[in-house]
Structure 1
Amino acid sequence: MTGAAPTDTPTHPVLEQVLARVVERSSEGRRVYLERIRNAAIIGPARGQLGCANLAHGFAAALPDDKTALRKSRRPNLAIVSAYNDMLSAHQPFETYPAQLKAAAAKAGAIAQFAGGVPAMCDGVTQGRDGMQLSLFSRDVIAMSAAIALSHDMFDGALMLGVCDKIVPGLLIGALSFGQLPTVFVPAGPMTSGIPNGEKSRVRQLFAEGKVGREELLEAEAASYHSAGTCTFYGTANSNQLLMEVLGLHLPGASFVNPGTPLRAALTDAAAQRAAAITWAGDEFTPIGEIVDEKAVLNACIALLATGGSTNHTMHLVAIAAAAGITLTWDDLSDLSAVVPQLARIYPNGSADVNHYQAAGGLAFTIRTLLDHGLLFEDVLTIAGPGLRRYTAEPRLVDGELAWVDGPETSLDLDVLRPVDAPFAADGGLRILRGNLGTSVIKTSAVAPEHRVVTAPARVFDDQADLLLAFQDGHLHGDMVAVVRYQGPRANGMPELHKLTPVLSSLQDKGHRVAIVTDGRMSGASGKVPAAIHMTPEAADGGPISLVRDGDLITVDGDTGTVTWHVDGAELPLREPTGRALSDAEWVGTGRDLFSMFRHHVGTADTGASVFATPSPITARPTRTATLVEENA
């Protein structure tokens, strides 16, 4: 693949400063990781080291031509790992991908085998239900499932099929545990646009206020989520797609092409062909563990900030980085946010959806303007070849053939997408809040400036259902800071609290000063109400949030990056925690009892909310080479 020539634009000094400290902080972990994956890389088919019985099991069910090729180890073999199910609209298109990828791989002189499926749950379906308490934990289950799929030593590369919330981060963490394998992520694209997001939000709020019934609400929701493809608002799923492209793991321009189109089909074919080209069999050997380095991780952070992406990635990016031996912190994200301007307004940060963003110039323009102003690291590896400038190109069908053309040099809709020198806001709209309640994250990009600072009495709840009930019974009025606690990873798996947004928005619209402080998560749905989320230490860990009582005065200040609990320090030793996390005996049903181990071992939100420990160093095996990448550079 060819790409635009690099420029000599200097990198912003803050980016260089953050990079330097990430590299220093990660030096030992990254060294160990690279040593491990380089020792695991081999020249020639991975299955060449299998015994005869092992290999015979691996090709027993293959088609005759594939069986011959696998037996003789003449062609690279690609693992297909898929999160397909037809209950998730975003993943339904993957049903036909394995056969298509196998055919495309064959044309490229490779073989592809379906290596395994991973679970894929939908936060939209489980919202407010007990099943949502498994959502965050599913990320690490997906990572482990992907690792099992790749564990057979049959594969020379991988194709990862996933789109939604915890699924792509899980697939990437799993893939990074096999960092010696070239790996291409294959998206399915967003559904076409339904009713305007503002109308959907309006009906949700009317329902919360009791002014429309369930039938009207369901009609609006069905008109919004109406077909195969990713939901079109800019939540975690579409943030995933943007990040995979900026990390260089998608083909350029692949993220936001609608399913069921000729261009989508051509890009899927090209993904298999590219995966074959970057294995040992070609001259561009590019393992995923070499792509996802410190610069690539920071590029992902910057793109997330510039577009107002999901706050879930303040955890996922930390966990992804750790899987590659890199230590990323919330401070890194916060410092980047201070110099990365807000370039996009996509719902819930605006009225446009991702299709409108794509039409306005999309990622090609976003990457171009950030690169042109020194706000991305250009000198990175990607599956398309060296250099992020390649991702300023857009895919097109020219006489029926896939080609890449220069992307737009200007935004086609300044209400949706802007250049760096004329942004919507000077910062990325993500801040770390610190104070005597702990450390939390706030997404200010969707919050009007006049609502970003709130001082009000606390109203304390240990479950979002209790807050909703209090609202329905007319018990919520006046200024307030809703404190919703025991919603962290160790309390109940950290379910998303989407249902709170319409209620809190309704109170704010009535002229009340309203904010929320929670050790739970709200993702892109935190919306127009200031939300101090992911509070750590969480209540279940004995964090100060467990001591808050109704009436305590709290200030949430999104401008200064502080959250202040106005309580007399002499009183604190006299206070006992109120409320509690669910016990193992209570945390049952909907499969939750199977995940008690996760609750007991999960890390904190600021360290990625992961159950995985840092891998220990290993001894190099003499049959492997530690210099394979350098030799093929």
Structure 2
Amino acid sequence: MHPRVLEVTQRLVERSRPTRERYLAMIRAAASDGPQRGKLQCANFAHGVAGCGSSTDKQRLRLMDQANVAIVSSYNDMLSAHQPYEHYPELIKQALREIGSVGQFAGGVPAMCDGVTQGEAGMELSLASREVIAMSTAVALSHNMFDAALLLGICDKIIPGLMIGALRFGHLPMIFVPGGPMPSGISNKEKARVRQAFAEGKATREELLESEMKSYHSPGTCTFYGTANTNQVVMEVMGLHLPGSSFVNPYTPLRDELTREAARQVTRITHQGGNFMPLGEIVDEKSIVNSVVALSATGGSTNHTLHIPAIAQAAGIQLTWDDMAEISAVTPTLAQVYPNGKADVNHFHAAGGVNFMVHTLLEAGLLHEDVNTIMGRGLSRYLQEPFLVDGKLEWRTGRAESLDEDILRPASRPFNEEGGLRVMQGNLGRGVMKVSAVAPKHQLVEAPARVFHDQSELAAAFKAGELERDFVAVVRFQGPKALGMPELHKLTPYLGVLQDRGFKVALVTDGRMSGASGKVPAAIHVCPEAIDGGPLAKVCDGDLIRVDGRTGELRILVPADEWMARQTVEAPQGTGVGCGRELFAFMRGAMSTAESGASAFTSSLEALK
């Protein structure tokens, strides 16, 4: 193992010892009781089986030697990634019946699409939806009728929400079931070109719409390497997907058979199956470190600097940004998938995908092999990949080399010697930057500030021709407590145009960018956030700011005495009402800092220390 990875892991173990011990005691006590439905009162049990369509299923549930598997799904028709889940419950139930077990649809969780809500009021519900999904998962599993669970989810807040909720029932074996990416449409480079042309007034709205619909064109995840597809890599490297299953396209025979196999496999790791392996024993300090290595090696979504700490905390593990940055510093960048390159995730999968990533990272000593997975002990089980032969699933040893080193490289020949994450810090607070997509010549910007309280203000200033110069855009009052931390992806085309025109531009914000954060240097998730009196609330137009993605410096170059004497400005009024936002006011008030996962659950989980 790489000594730095071992060092961070050991430090994480020591820091987390009190909370992790309490967590494990909780789930082990629950697991030792055996099937929970066996202790239910007769009336309670009768309610739990009344809806079964088959008397055979009812009889099986009365016997404690057969597994009852909960199905928790984020299906809806509006998300392309989640639309295929419409058909999964029946596939799962039938596969379970064939082996003498039972599947019950335990509950649905909400699933919103950041792509639809970008720049709209609904985006202010996006991060909070993670907490709602976690609570919905807990409600679905709260009936204590189940021996295991299959969790159906893919996209941005949905996998983290399912994970947080599921980990509070960590005594149950669980498998996450992906749906796969849509087939490739037009290139991501062409999509970005049309967006930028539209921002400059060089493309019509009809041309923009045509481009977008050729890019997002069918069921499945979007094919760029944003938060949804980063989720898939992270889940597989944590041992929570079937090996090689993350990027198999929807509505294919292999995809359907992998879904059936997930149902069969989850019964094998129940008490009844004899190879008991609950979720809470899989998600430990080593698997969390593995998830950060995977994030860094692939240049994954900055949203995971919020989600992985929040997931870790749900399992009693206290992960910090410094831990993540130290891991990133020694993890080479092995993939170039848009926005870090031209390829999409289908190309990544064809070049070797997660299977090859695990191979080369294990070989380099950057992943812990000695971890629990849904397939048993050892991450080397993820060197296998699935094939469908005469209608039957077969596992074969995957490739030990990349088929396209323009997309995916071994650790011995990386695109960069370090990963894509940088912790930014200085007298403006602490934040993160995804440097993997930013060219080295653009990573340092020192320029006057231009302050905005909304991304629409920046768009208006661009259209008025006010931004034809070097500047650092400070977009504040966008944090979790202020607005629920909406993504600011609408800024990318405008700032990209200005950078292409030769201006030095950067973004500093207490909000988020998209998981597809791109070529403009952006110090995001800055905390303390402005509404909490953070330093961003003191910045004025014209203040000189240094944003250095190479060294991690985030600093306002104002004389110290002047800076200390300066008063913070008040948050703008009149926000947070309409589109259901007012219903989430209580949750925004409970949100922790971005570094603590921007979570409404932090205080309640910290009480377990």
TM-score bracket, normalised by the shorter chain, equals over 0.9
- State how far apart, in whole Å, the 2-side matches of 1:120 and 1:433 are: 31
- State how far apart, in whole Å, the 2-side matches of 1:55 and 1:605 are: 42
Partner residue, 1:623: none
For residues 581-608 of structure 1, the C-alpha deviation after alignment (integer angstroms, 9 at most, x for no partner) is 556xx42111111000011110000000
Matches within 5 A, 1:153-192: 153-192=144-183
2:592 aligned with 1:603, yes or no?
A: yes
SS of 1:298's partner is: helix
Partner residue, 1:538: 529
Q: Which amino acid aligns with 1:33?
A: Y
- State how far apart, in whole Å, the 2-side matches of 1:124 and 1:339 are: 33
With over 3 angstroms needed to count, the CA separation of the structure-2 counterparts of 1:582 and 1:287, relative to structure 1, is farther
Shift of 1:519: 0.4
Contact 2:141 2:169 in 1 (8 A): yes
2:251 aligned with 1:256, yes or no?
A: no
Partner residue, 1:219: 210
Contact 2:332 2:414 in 1 (8 A): yes
TM-score (norm 2): 0.98
Contact 1:44 1:281 in 2 (8 A): no
Partner residue, 2:46: 56
- State how far apart, in whole Å, the 1-side matches of 2:128 and 2:440 are: 35
- Match for residue 368 of structure 1 among 352, 359, 362: 359
2:539 aligned with 1:548, yes or no?
A: yes
- State how far apart, in whole Å, the 2-side matches of 1:525 and 1:319 are: 20
With over 3 angstroms needed to count, the CA separation of the structure-2 counterparts of 1:546 and 1:342, relative to structure 1, is same
- Match for residue 578 of structure 2 among 562, 566, 589: 589
2:377 aligned with 1:386, yes or no?
A: yes
Contact 1:540 1:581 in 2 (8 A): no
Shift of 1:320: 0.2
Shift of 1:73: 3.2
- State how far apart, in whole Å, the 2-side matches of 1:83 and 1:239 are: 18
For residues 91-121 of structure 1, the C-alpha deviation after alignment (integer angstroms, 9 at most, x for no partner) is 0000010011001111222111000000000
- Match for residue 559 of structure 1 among 550, 558, 580: 550
- State how far apart, in whole Å, the 1-side matches of 2:332 and 2:220 are: 29
- Match for residue 26 of structure 2 among 31, 36, 41: 36
Shift of 1:259: 0.3
Contact 2:352 2:401 in 1 (8 A): yes
Contact 1:159 1:184 in 2 (8 A): yes
For residues 344-374 of structure 1, the C-alpha deviation after alignment (integer angstroms, 9 at most, x for no partner) is 0000000100000000000000010000010
2:447 aligned with 1:447, yes or no?
A: no
Q: Which amino acid aligns with 1:536?
A: C
Q: Which amino acid aligns with 1:55?
A: F
With over 3 angstroms needed to count, the CA separation of the structure-2 counterparts of 1:279 and 1:87, relative to structure 1, is same
Shift of 1:29: 0.4
Contact 1:278 1:286 in 2 (8 A): yes
2:258 aligned with 1:271, yes or no?
A: no
Shift of 1:445: 0.3
Partner residue, 2:485: 494
For residues 368-407 of structure 1, the C-alpha deviation after alignment (integer angstroms, 9 at most, x for no partner) is 0000010100000000111001111110012221011111
- State how far apart, in whole Å, the 2-side matches of 1:486 and 1:77 are: 47
**Identity of aligned pairs, percent?**
62
SS of 1:431's partner is: strand
Partner residue, 1:5: none
- Match for residue 494 of structure 2 among 503, 519, 531: 503
- State how far apart, in whole Å, the 2-side matches of 1:76 and 1:301 are: 33
For residues 12-66 of structure 1, the C-alpha deviation after alignment (integer angstroms, 9 at most, x for no partner) is 0000100111000000000000000000114542200000000000001112111
- Match for residue 517 of structure 2 among 507, 526, 538: 526
Contact 1:22 1:328 in 2 (8 A): yes
SS of 1:88's partner is: coil
- State how far apart, in whole Å, the 2-side matches of 1:263 and 1:234 are: 22
Partner residue, 2:62: 71
Partner residue, 1:17: 7
Partner residue, 1:132: 123
For residues 219-256 of structure 1, the C-alpha deviation after alignment (integer angstroms, 9 at most, x for no partner) is 00000000000000000000111111011110000100
2:193 aligned with 1:202, yes or no?
A: yes
- State how far apart, in whole Å, the 1-side matches of 2:291 and 2:606 are: 26
Contact 1:501 1:525 in 2 (8 A): no
Shift of 1:75: 1.2
Partner residue, 2:386: 395
- State how far apart, in whole Å, the 2-side matches of 1:485 and 1:53 are: 54
Shift of 1:521: 0.6
Partner residue, 1:243: 234
Q: Which amino acid aligns with 2:500?
A: D
TM-score (norm 1): 0.95
Larger deviation, residues 566-575 vs 155-164:
566-575
Q: Which amino acid aligns with 1:235?
A: G
Matches within 5 A, 1:317-328: 317-328=308-319
Contact 2:127 2:486 in 1 (8 A): yes
Contact 2:531 2:570 in 1 (8 A): no
SS of 2:376's partner is: coil
Partner residue, 1:630: none
Shift of 1:576: 2.2
Partner residue, 1:92: 83
2:495 aligned with 1:481, yes or no?
A: no
For residues 433-472 of structure 1, the C-alpha deviation after alignment (integer angstroms, 9 at most, x for no partner) is 1100000101110111111101000010000000001101
- State how far apart, in whole Å, the 1-side matches of 2:360 and 2:563 are: 50
2:8 aligned with 1:46, yes or no?
A: no
- State how far apart, in whole Å, the 1-side matches of 2:142 and 2:606 are: 19
Shift of 1:67: 1.0
Contact 2:313 2:605 in 1 (8 A): no
- Match for residue 410 of structure 1 among 390, 401, 406: 401
- Match for residue 219 of structure 2 among 208, 225, 228: 228
SS of 1:457's partner is: strand
Contact 1:430 1:444 in 2 (8 A): yes
Q: Which amino acid aligns with 1:311?
A: T
Q: Which residues of structure 2 form unaligned runs of 5+? A: none
- State how far apart, in whole Å, the 2-side matches of 1:388 and 1:261 are: 27
Partner residue, 1:628: none
For residues 187-240 of structure 1, the C-alpha deviation after alignment (integer angstroms, 9 at most, x for no partner) is 000000000000000000000011111100000000000000000000000011
Larger deviation, residues 572-581 vs 157-166:
572-581
Shift of 1:550: 0.6
2:291 aligned with 1:291, yes or no?
A: no
Shift of 1:615: 3.7
- Match for residue 504 of structure 2 among 513, 518, 528: 513
Partner residue, 1:309: 300
Aligned length: 606
